[in-house]
A and B are shown apart, each in its own frame.
Chain A
Amino acid sequence: MAEWDATLLQRALDVSAVGTILLDPEQRIIVWNGWMERGSRLLAGEVLERPLFAVFPELAETRIARAVESALNSGLPTTLSHRLTPTPFPLYTASEQNDTASRMSQLVMIKAIRDCEGQRYCLIQIQDITNTVTREQVLRSQALQLQAAKEAAQEANQAKSDFLANMSHEIRTPMNAIIGMSHLALKTELSAKQRDYLSKVHASAQSLLGIINDILDFSKIEAGKLTMESVPFHLDDVLHNVANLVSLRAEEAGLEVNFHVERGVPLNLLGDALRLGQVLINLTNNAVKFTRRGNITVLVGVEELQELQVVLHFQVQDSGIGMTPEQVGRLFTAFTQADSSTTRRFGGTGLGLTISKRLVEMMQGRIWVESWPGVGSHFHFTATFPRANRERRRFRLPSKDLVGLRVLVADDNPVSREILQKSFESFSFQVTCVSSGEEALFEMERALAQSRPYQLVFLDWQMGEMDGIRTTREINRRFPETRIPKIVMVTAYSREDVMVAAQGVGVSGFLTKPVSLSILFEMVLSVLGREGEGHKRSGGVSGLRQEEPIRDWRGIRVLLVEDNEINQQVAYELLSGEGMEVQIAADGQQAVAAVQETEFDVVLMDVQMPVMDGYAATRAIRSEERFSGLPIIAMTANAMAGDREKCIQAGMNDHIGKPVHPPHLFATLARYCRVRNRQESRSVVREEEEEVAIPDTLPGIDTGVGLRNLNGNRKLYRKILGDVLSRYRDCSERLQELVTEGKAEEAHRLVHTLKAVAGTVAAQGLQRAAQELEAVVWLQKRQEEWPPLFVCLQEELSLVLHGLAAWQQSMADAARQGEPESTEQDLLPLPELLNRLSRLIEEGDSDARDLLEQLRRHFASGRFAGEVERLAAQVDEYEFEEALLSVQRLREGLQQGLAG
């Protein structure tokens, strides 16, 4: 039995796919199977009975040797892995490898077995894992390559996004100049053609800015640099802002945008109002873009209301071209529009929806769309907001006597009709809706006949034949005065338009769509004469309607801190154009010094500046207790998220991005420049206005045009005129020298600046002369033409300079003589002044001269200035009879003027 056992076992071992060696207690080889013969190329006969480490001397002192000893001595098994066994058995693999006769990669297991006497033997088993090793090497190198490629791609993408994000500043600075300058230029005297060109430049710049903003936003999102603010805001403000921005485009497209906030939607929220607005504007603008006719409706409802937070559900519904399911599937992907042909037809970057999607996700919401080709699309999104203060509603429910108030709504648009109806019903009013003026009249008559007259009528302005205004007229005509209800005109157009159209018609109120519940309610109360009942807005971010904003900016002192000269000019002219007194500081250090010297109402602070940046300057200013209340507003091209926080952290009150959007600039300023010093500033201004009287004409200068060039800023104009006088007094001589010395380049520069200055102050003759001379000087030829042109320039220049000098002299005189008088007696009323003057002239009293000075100040410019000068000359020459006649003429002229 043992014999065939042994033979069978030997054969089994020989065909085994595992290398097998058995060592006796003295480490001599007693089994060497067929696999070992093949792998080692040593036959059993060559190795049997020999000690293992005599056959493989290189294995002595290796892990294998230690494992063999461990097995024989303590019976502990060892598994030797390929990676941790630097010296394996010298075997050749059976697999064909790239490099011929490769060493075999092995997994070696060494363990002890006992014979029947308990004697330990060592069993060594070897597996060929060469194929596995090769396969894993390939896999590993592929994975490494893949990893490297992935990292490279990510790095490149990051670099691209960083680049774009950093470009923000670089792009916004020139954009500011383009938008600001074209805005200013549009306020000047222009021909129709120029106005057309410029308004197109302005509009194109605005739309370019929109595109740039999209791209920058997208790159910020990609670069992970977009962060969300968390500040209290009022939902109504966001919706109104959206309405303001989209209604113009909608109007142009002949569409109406309706807003409806469902009852129960909390309005005081915490979050990023700007980003929420951005999503809504984006979706609404899209809706406008893809809708030819019909309606666009923005709905806000509650998805989930909790104690501390709310999930709002927003919907933007349109009746536009709609999309197929395939097109819907491609939405929300960067750089994609529903199909590429729509890009051509409707324009746009296709980034808007991608950005919206990310923004919504950052507000813990989701965005989706339902669409039907040819029918329209409904874009939905949800967003989560913590609730700011849990004052439930901003307006109280109507007092008891208003419950059941009878309201008639006439609107031809079914959607806005429905929205108004729902809104009124939520106030517990009794509402009837009709779709035309005729029906409204009919319904009112019917109600009156039943002795249930309407108390309030809301009429749409634009509705068919019988519009709101005609309907109102008809109501006034048909109904007895005591039975005429309060009428409110509703319009999607601008309030001013409808107010003009409805002048004298007898309308109690005007309402601009979109109509939010709170505004509607306030309107009802105010029309019914119960204004006090409405809740006043309790502050918050918007503040736009918080307090009556300053409309009269005159006398507000602004410190403008800005290093870029063009931006200085843009801001300077915007602000001074509204009558503000603007002082410029070119860096933070100058700003810190300026606030020490002058008391400012507000500081507009650029952030990136040489010498000292805006943050440091703000901190320096704020470090003094007395400046703790000084409003400092950042005005910067860094429109990156987080910049606002940085500005606020540095102690600034607010942040305006560049390019400066004038309405936004003034709205922000209005928030910080309180009405407190309006009275004070008014009186200051009045004095100044008189001081800054500028004659209607000056020799060689059209002051009217000049003033318009400077946006009517008289003070600035006078200053510039003064500068012209002092800087160009010796211009002729200088020019002469330069020409004789052959310094053509300098001569050119001088003539060039002269031309520019002449243009600014509207010295048109001088400007033309300088222009002509410049042309030939610049060309540096036709030198024979120089002298006549030069003479011409000299003449014009001298005309202007003399005129200016005379004017300045007279002003200086006036100031000298007027000063003591003005404090005491100041200005007498004109008729009184003239009466006294004629009395004094009759008496030959020299005091008449003093009165004349006052008269001069009254008439420093204007059509009577000449007469006054003549009068003065007559008095000087003691031609009293003539002088009396002049006074008489003045008196008559004045009376005519008053009567006319």
Chain B
Amino acid sequence: MNDQELRLPSAEGQSVFLLTEMEEDALKEFFNMGLGMAAASLSRMVNNEVLLSLPKLRIASYEEATHLLLSGQEERLVAIRQNFTGELSGTALLIFPGAGGLELVRTLLHEQMPLEVLMELEQETLLDVGNVVLNAFLESFTQMMSVQFEFESAEFLRGSGQFLLDLESHLAAQRQALPVGDGERAFVLMMDFKTHDEERKQHTLSGFVVLLFSQASMEILKRELTVILGAF
């Protein structure tokens, strides 16, 4: 997939949220690093080669993100959430459309379970996997920043796409309320998990990593990026 396609149409651009090409490249670089780490950890965990690729990156508004990821997904989705707070606060989500999460767990564990529902232990396993993936992203993302982060434990969620992409549904519990009218922005990363089963049959599975930021946080992020890029 060509990254160019995923750029927002400039007409729609509200400059504040738009990153320069350089900034965007830098971000992608962070994410790619995270991806490598996540793949390594996962492979080690399941004793099986797991490849992760990042075919899409897009910065989108709440509405766009909802539309981009979840059009046609009426069912309730499965997601792993990890909130981060501090100067730069937001939430990271790993979202699996349909029965993707279930399939991933079963492929990773070489399970041939006929049950159609995610059982309790499988939920935990998925939480574990999601946690590893999100940690890798967050680590690479935050390492370069000068701001301090606090992380909450990963949680397993089930909900509609709209619910999952609503920043307030994640951060409502936070002590500082979001500024009124603070629009949300999201980094949407589509990622493919590639692994194979016992018969060496390839399985490819798509998931989404979504980083949700408030408008205020985005401004800080942009500032941070400028600093980082300035350092080179």
Q: Tell me how far the C-beta of B211 lies from the nearest C-beta in chain A, rounded to whole angstroms.
A: 15
Residues of B within 8 A of A70 (CB): 135, 139
* In the complex, B29 has a CB within 8 A of chain A: no
* In the complex, A827 has a CB within 8 A of chain B: no
Interface of B is mostly: helix
Q: Are A140 and B127 CB-contacts (below 8 A) given A132-B120, A132-B121?
A: no
* In the complex, B153 has a CB within 8 A of chain A: yes
Contact with B along A790-804 (1 / 0, CB 8 A): 000000000000000
Contact of B119 among A76, A81, A85, A139 (CB under 8 A): A139
Bound Cα distance from A114 to B150, whole angstroms: 9
Bound Cα distance from A680 to B114, whole angstroms: 72
Residue of B nearest to A77 (CB): B153
Contact of A112 among B46, B121, B151 (CB under 8 A): B151
Contact status B121-A136, CB under 8 Å: yes
Q: Tell me how far the C-beta of A76 lies from the nearest C-beta in chain B, rounded to whole angstroms.
A: 5
Q: Are A74 and B142 CB-contacts (below 8 A) given A136-B120, A139-B119, A143-B114?
A: yes
Bound Cα distance from A80 to B129, whole angstroms: 9
* In the complex, B182 has a CB within 8 A of chain A: no
* In the complex, A586 has a CB within 8 A of chain B: no
* In the complex, A809 has a CB within 8 A of chain B: no
Bound Cα distance from A143 to B113, whole angstroms: 8
* In the complex, A220 has a CB within 8 A of chain B: no
Contact status B120-A77, CB under 8 Å: no
Contact with A along B137-159 (1 / 0, CB 8 A): 01100110000011111100000
* In the complex, A665 has a CB within 8 A of chain B: no
Contact status B139-A107, CB under 8 Å: no
Contact of A143 among B115, B121, B150, B152 (CB under 8 A): B115
Contact with B along A204-222 (1 / 0, CB 8 A): 0000000000000000000
Residues of B within 8 A of A75 (CB): 149-151
Q: Are A84 and B114 CB-contacts (below 8 A) given A76-B135, A78-B135?
A: no
Contact status B113-A140, CB under 8 Å: yes
Q: Are A74 and B113 CB-contacts (below 8 A) given A63-B45, A81-B121, A139-B119?
A: no
Residues of A within 8 A of B153 (CB): 77, 79, 109, 111
Contact of A76 among B46, B113, B124, B151 (CB under 8 A): B151
Q: Tell me how far the C-beta of B143 lies from the nearest C-beta in chain A, rounded to whole angstroms.
A: 7
Residue of A nearest to B127 (CB): A79
Residues of A within 8 A of B131 (CB): 77-79
* In the complex, B70 has a CB within 8 A of chain A: no
* In the complex, A83 has a CB within 8 A of chain B: yes
Bound Cα distance from A70 to B138, whole angstroms: 12
Contact status B154-A79, CB under 8 Å: yes
Residues of A within 8 A of B109 (CB): 83
Bound Cα distance from A81 to B153, whole angstroms: 13
Contact status B135-A83, CB under 8 Å: no
Bound Cα distance from A107 to B120, whole angstroms: 12
* In the complex, B128 has a CB within 8 A of chain A: yes
Contact status B128-A79, CB under 8 Å: yes
Q: Tell me how far the C-beta of A487 lies from the nearest C-beta in chain B, rounded to whole angstroms.
A: 70
Contact of A77 among B114, B142, B154 (CB under 8 A): B154
Q: Tell me how far the C-beta of B132 lies from the nearest C-beta in chain A, rounded to whole angstroms.
A: 8
| Residue in B113, B127, B128, B132 whose Cβ sees the most chain A Cβ within 10 Å | B128
Q: Tell me how far the C-beta of A88 lies from the nearest C-beta in chain B, rounded to whole angstroms.
A: 12
* In the complex, B125 has a CB within 8 A of chain A: yes
Q: Tell me how far the C-beta of A697 lies from the nearest C-beta in chain B, rounded to whole angstroms.
A: 83
Residues of B within 8 A of A147 (CB): 114
Q: Tell me how far the C-beta of A64 lies from the nearest C-beta in chain B, rounded to whole angstroms.
A: 12
Residue of A nearest to B124 (CB): A81
Residue of A nearest to B132 (CB): A78
* In the complex, A289 has a CB within 8 A of chain B: no
* In the complex, A133 has a CB within 8 A of chain B: yes
Q: Are A136 and B119 CB-contacts (below 8 A) given A77-B131, A78-B131, A147-B114?
A: yes
Residue of B nearest to A146 (CB): B114
Residue of B nearest to A151 (CB): B114
Q: Tell me how far the C-beta of B168 lies from the nearest C-beta in chain A, rounded to whole angstroms.
A: 22
Contact status B152-A77, CB under 8 Å: yes
Contact with B along A62-77 (1 / 0, CB 8 A): 0100000010001111
Contact status A84-B45, CB under 8 Å: yes
Q: Tell me how far the C-beta of B111 lies from the nearest C-beta in chain A, rounded to whole angstroms.
A: 9
Residue of A nearest to B135 (CB): A76
* In the complex, A486 has a CB within 8 A of chain B: no
Q: Tell me how far the C-beta of A141 lies from the nearest C-beta in chain B, rounded to whole angstroms.
A: 11
Bound Cα distance from A107 to B135, whole angstroms: 18
Contact status B139-A74, CB under 8 Å: yes
Residue of B nearest to A123 (CB): B153
| Residue in A75, A82, A85 whose Cβ sees the most chain B Cβ within 10 Å | A75
Q: Tell me how far the C-beta of A840 lies from the nearest C-beta in chain B, rounded to whole angstroms.
A: 101
* In the complex, A54 has a CB within 8 A of chain B: no
Q: Tell me how far the C-beta of A114 lies from the nearest C-beta in chain B, rounded to whole angstroms.
A: 8
Residues of A within 8 A of B45 (CB): 63, 84
Residues of A within 8 A of B142 (CB): 74
* In the complex, A144 has a CB within 8 A of chain B: yes
| Residue in B120, B121, B142, B151 whose Cβ sees the most chain A Cβ within 10 Å | B121
Residues of A within 8 A of B151 (CB): 75-77, 111-112
Residues of A within 8 A of B139 (CB): 70, 74, 76
Bound Cα distance from A70 to B82, whole angstroms: 15
Residue of A nearest to B108 (CB): A84
Residue of A nearest to B46 (CB): A84
Residues of B within 8 A of A79 (CB): 124, 127-128, 131, 153-154
Bound Cα distance from A114 to B86, whole angstroms: 13
Residues of B within 8 A of A74 (CB): 139, 142-143
Residue of B nearest to A66 (CB): B41
Please provide the chain B residues from 74 to 126 with a CB less than 8 Å away from any CB of chain A in the complex.
Answer: 82, 109, 113-115, 119-121, 124-125
Please provide the chain A residues from 141 to 181 with a CB less than 8 Å away from any CB of chain B in the complex.
Answer: 143-144, 146-147
Residue of B nearest to A81 (CB): B128
Residue of A nearest to B114 (CB): A147
Q: Tell me how far the C-beta of A614 lies from the nearest C-beta in chain B, rounded to whole angstroms.
A: 42
Please provide the chain B residues from 151 to 177 with a CB less than 8 Å away from any CB of chain A in the complex.
Answer: 151-154
Q: Are A76 and B138 CB-contacts (below 8 A) given A81-B127, A83-B109, A83-B125?
A: yes
Residue of A nearest to B119 (CB): A136
Residue of B nearest to A133 (CB): B121
Contact status B121-A82, CB under 8 Å: yes
Residue of B nearest to A63 (CB): B45
Residue of A nearest to B142 (CB): A74
Residue of B nearest to A114 (CB): B150
Residues of A within 8 A of B121 (CB): 81-83, 129, 132-133, 136
Residue of B nearest to A78 (CB): B131
Residues of A within 8 A of B135 (CB): 70, 76-78
Residues of B within 8 A of A78 (CB): 131-132, 135
Contact with B along A102-135 (1 / 0, CB 8 A): 0000010101101000000000000001001100
Residues of A within 8 A of B82 (CB): 77
Bound Cα distance from A80 to B142, whole angstroms: 22
Bound Cα distance from A77 to B151, whole angstroms: 7
Residues of A within 8 A of B128 (CB): 79-81, 83-85
Q: Tell me how far the C-beta of A423 lies from the nearest C-beta in chain B, rounded to whole angstroms.
A: 53
Contact with A along B34-49 (1 / 0, CB 8 A): 0000000000011000
Residues of B within 8 A of A81 (CB): 121, 124-125, 127-128
Residue of B nearest to A147 (CB): B114
Bound Cα distance from A132 to B143, whole angstroms: 38
What residues of chain B have their CB less than 8 Å away from a CB belonging to chain A? 45-46, 82, 109, 113-115, 119-121, 124-125, 127-129, 131-132, 135, 138-139, 142-143, 149-154
11 pairs of residues in contact across A and B, judged by CB atoms under 8 Å: A76-B139, A76-B151, A77-B131, A78-B132, A79-B131, A83-B121, A84-B45, A84-B125, A84-B129, A109-B153, A143-B114
- 15 more CB-based (< 8 A) A-B contacts, given A76-B151, A133-B121: A74-B142, A77-B151, A78-B135, A79-B128, A79-B131, A81-B125, A82-B121, A82-B125, A84-B46, A84-B125, A111-B151, A112-B151, A136-B121, A143-B114, A143-B115
Identify the 4 closest CB pairs spanning chains A and B, nearest first. A81-B128, A81-B124, A147-B114, A81-B125
